[in-house]
Amino acid sequence: MGLLQQTLLQRAAKLVGGPDKLATHLSVPLELLEAWMGGVVDMPEAKMPRLSAILQKAADKTHGGY
């Protein structure tokens, strides 16, 4: 997943208020999230639905549910 994964994680972190809050939403230690965001390790595919839901919820708030 690489660069796309990093971009999505960075965007989600910004939308929820920072990496520490995103780590909480994804139920992972901050250190692991930072490794994913830095491209050191790939985020497991099993976390993608939760990340997608976080991004969708933020988009709904930003765009009035559209």
DSSP secondary structure of 39-58: TSSPPPGGGHHHHHHHHHHH
Per the model's pLDDT, the better-predicted residue between 47 and 1 turns out to be 47
CA distances from 53 to 8, 44, 60 (A): 12, 15, 10
pLDDT of residue 59: 80
d(C-alpha 44, C-alpha 65), whole Å: 28
When pLDDT is cut at 50, 70 and 90, the band that residue 64 belongs to is low
When pLDDT is cut at 50, 70 and 90, the band that residue 51 belongs to is very high
What confidence tens digit (pLDDT) does each residue in 4-18 have? 999 999 999 999 999
Total domains present in the chain: 1
Residue 31 belongs to domain spanning: 3-62
pLDDT at residue 21 tops 60: yes
Number of H helices, E strands in the chain: 4, 0
